[in-house]
Amino acid sequence: MIPCKCGGKTLVTDSRVRNETVIRRRKCLKCGARWSTEEIEIGNIRKGFKHNGGGEKPADTKVHALVKVLFEEKTRQGVSWEELSKKSGMSIAAMQDWKYRAWPTLWGIDYALTALGIEITCRRRSP
């Protein structure tokens, strides 16, 4: 369970699957705050990425869901690459390379997403 900033317990009010993510709408039972979380299976963090010596990825290789979330959220918020770089501490080139040729590290994608207000959380996979 993901706690609210006030420390109250939360309730999942809605869950939806989008691409490789599960989006959950949550509500705090103590203060009434509402927010969404996106869950991505960490075991797939490198799924779809093939390193081929720095060249372009083959056309059939898909961009990882976390990178898609980063690019979509950056566009949705209207944040420039310069702003995101300053907030996250990541270089513009590194973040842009994730879409085409580089494997993002977990800490790198976490810094970039956190700068956009998105938190990566872990949970045990249910059997």
- Beta-bridge mates of residue 37: 24
Q: What is the DSSP string of 35-63?
A: EEEEEE-GGGTTTT----TTSPPPTTPPP
- Beta-bridged to residue 15, according to DSSP, are 24
Backbone φ and ψ of 59, nearest 5°: -60, -30
pLDDT value at residue 51: 37
Domain 43-121, what architecture? Answer: Orthogonal Bundle (1.10)
Q: What pLDDT is attached to residue 81?
A: 92
Write down the pLDDT at residue 112.
92
Identify the pLDDT of residue 97.
82
Decide: 104 and 57 in contact? Cβ < 8 Å.
no
Cα separation, 16 vs 86, whole angstroms: 32
- Structure confidence at residue 45 (pLDDT): 47
pLDDT along the chain (127 residues), means of 10: 77 80 84 82 45 40 78 91 92 83 80 90 74
Q: How high is the pLDDT of residue 46?
A: 40
